[in-house]
Each structure stands twice: as structure tokens, then as C-alpha cells.
Amino acid sequence: MLTKHEPYPAFALDRWWDIVAANRTAEHLFQALSATSPNAVELFLGQGPVRQMLENWSEVAWVTVARLRNEVSSCGADERLLELLRHAEALVKGVP
């Protein structure tokens, strides 16, 4: 599936939003961004070049937080996922 998505970047995430696989386009993009975090929340919401690269970053950020909130509410007691949500909310605090 990842290969079929080329030439667009694509990656697969585990339950805690860690990037477990990526197609060649995504790998090149992450390398160009000097992305060191294997976690999609940190990559997209943390300080770094993605914020400047995405014109609608604030919208993407809040959709990401909403998705995480939904996952936390539907997955039951998963402390690691809940901590990831808290981290994401802290990263977007003050973002309109």
C-alpha cells in the first residue's frame, strides 16, 4: 500500500503514532527535514520545519489533537496513548 501511494509520501503508524514504515518518498522527505523523531505527533506538532512547511499547520494540528482525543476515548485505559494526547495538547497550547 505504501509503494502504491508514491509519488506521494505515506507512512504506517502503530497505536501510539510511532512511524513503523514509510515509502521512499516519505523517507526522502523525513531525511530532508532532518526528522529525528519516529513519532508522528512529535514530527507534525513539535517545533521543527513541518510547521513552516504546512500552510494550514494550525488546522492540521487541531485535527490531529481531535483524532487523538477520539482514539483515547475509544481505546480504553492506555496510559501511553493518554500521555501522547497530553503532550499533543501541550504542543498546540495557544494555537488558534
**pLDDT tens per residue across span 36-92:** 778 999 988 988 888 888 899 999 999 999 999 999 999 877 999 999 999 999 999
Q: Give the pLDDT band of residue 93 (cuts 50, 70, 90).
A: very high
Determine contact, residues 16/36, Cβ cutoff 8 Å.
Answer: no
What does the DSSP assignment read for the chain? Answer: -TGGGTTS--EEE-TT-BEEEE-HHHHHHHHHTT----BHHHHHHSSSHHHHH-TTHHHHHHHHHHHHHHHHHHH-S-HHHHHHHHHHHHHTTT--
Q: Confirm whether 96 is domain-assigned.
A: no
Instruction: Indicate the number of domains in the chain.
Output: 1
Q: Confirm whether 56 is domain-assigned.
A: yes
Expressed as residue numbers, the domain containing 10 is 3-91
Determine contact, residues 95/65, Cβ cutoff 8 Å.
Answer: no
